[in-house]
Structure 1
Amino acid sequence: MWQQRPAEPAPDDHRTTTVEQGRFCAARCSCGWRGPARRARSRARSDAAEHATALRTDGASGTAPPDGLG
């Protein structure tokens, strides 16, 4: 059976994920942004969500404001 390949993400499409680094977890984005290493996965996921929200409200600048400044 023929399967359709998923569509390529748009250049301005930001896809976030979390990456395990030993005891730490960090958020990453397809735009190259990297969040700080966190001990709590939930906080890394929050960093990723804040990055995506900042891009929607900031006009897709490609970077989120540093912690505490957004």
Structure 2
Amino acid sequence: MKNKLVIFGVVAIFLALIFGGIAYQQFAAEKMDEVYKNIGYCTLFLSIAVYIWHVKDEKKKNSLKRER
């Protein structure tokens, strides 16, 4: 389960970078509506990645408490 969470976290970071790059390209083309949409997707995937890593850490803490 731990490896799945790490993979999902890395995929979420990768998607955030993709949307961030698209937002930059749209910014250079001065299409501000597209910039805001892609920044929104970027922050969504970044927050998902942070939450996934939080869940992974909590599961690790819980498994250590059960071993004691």
- How does the TM-score come out when normalised to structure 2? 0.35
- Higher RCO (CA < 8 A, seq sep 6+): 2
- How does the TM-score come out when normalised to structure 1? 0.35
Which has more helix, going by share of residues? 2
* Structure with max Cα Rg: 2
